[in-house]
Structure 1
Amino acid sequence: MSINIESLAAELNRTLAIYARQTEEKVDVVAEKVASDGVELLKANSPKSPGGGKYAASWDYKKVGKKFIIHNKKHYRLTHLLEKGHAKVNGGRVSARVHIAPVENRVINEFKEELRRGLSE
């Protein structure tokens, strides 16, 4: 049996387009799941003031283009101050309360593993 080279090229292009679409869908599903998990981890591990936990409760994610961005909706100004520490008004420093970096590292590793698993199916 012989195959026409034009039909072979067309079939390869069709197959690669299907694979690319499936891969893109898988990346999107995994990214959203990992972003959601990251939000839950940040809500659980963020510093909470004695009067509430409004900072911790304000974590959320949003999709911008093809990216999922985890952010603090209401108290975004505090993220850097809490994560890195800051100077006090009357001298001295407030120590850092690192809570974002560990979640970031965990989310990155989880994304890689989930995607590797999903693409090997």
Structure 2
Amino acid sequence: MNKVQVDQLANEILKTLTDFHDMTNKELKSIAEETSEEVKNEISNTSPVGATKKYSRSWRIKKLRENANSILFVVHSIRYQLTRLLEFGHAKRNGGRTRAIPHIAPAEQKGIESFEKKLKARIENG
């Protein structure tokens, strides 16, 4: 352990907190990227599969913005017209409703839990 003069104590504390902040931000960004990939795969695997399988293969990840403290990923489908209809069901042409096939909300919940668990583990382990 290094010896620190009393007049340099504030600078050392600030330096240590800055290092911790930088390390935490790097971990946060890498965990966000990993989790977004997991969510995309989960949605693709649980998506309804038609004859062409286009919907289940249409899921993409897009990084919307990144700054020093945060990063924002969006998992979306390029066949966006179908997502709401499949997730919640819809009215049929001759009356009645189709059954809902929830596949986005469960994957989102798993992603949130996974992100929180990974972040807590990496911060505790340093």
TM over 0.5: yes
Q: Distance in 2 between matches of 1:63 and 1:118?
A: 22
Query: Could you give the per-residue CA deviations for residues 56-105 of structure 1, whole angstroms, max 9, x where no partner exists?
Result: 10111111121111111x21121111101111222211111111111111
1:77-96 superposed matches below 5 A: 77-96=81-100
* CA RMSD, Structure 1 to Structure 2 (Å): 1.5
Q: Distance in 2 between matches of 1:112 and 1:26?
A: 12
- Aligned-residue offset at 1:22: 0.4
Q: Distance in 2 between matches of 1:39 and 1:2?
A: 49
Distance change in 2, residues 1:89/1:12 (3 Å): same
Distance change in 2, residues 1:14/1:86 (3 Å): same
1:70-109 superposed matches below 5 A: 70-72=75-77, 74-109=78-113
Distance change in 2, residues 1:101/1:2 (3 Å): closer
Unaligned runs of 5+ in 2: 66-70
Question: Aligned residue pairs: how many?
Answer: 118
Aligned residue number for residue 3 of structure 1: 5
1:1-121 superposed matches below 5 A: 3-5=5-7, 7-49=8-50, 51-65=51-65, 66-72=71-77, 74-121=78-125
- Aligned-residue offset at 1:8: 1.4
Q: Using structure 1 for the length normalisation, give the TM-score.
A: 0.90
- Aligned-residue offset at 1:3: 2.5
Moved beyond 4 Å, runs of 4+: none
Unaligned runs of 5+ in 1: none
SS of corresponding position for 1:27: helix
Q: Distance in 2 between matches of 1:44 and 1:2?
A: 56
- Aligned-residue offset at 1:2: 7.4
SS of corresponding position for 2:56: helix
Report the identity percentage.
35
Q: Distance in 1 between matches of 2:45 and 2:52?
A: 13
SS of corresponding position for 1:56: coil
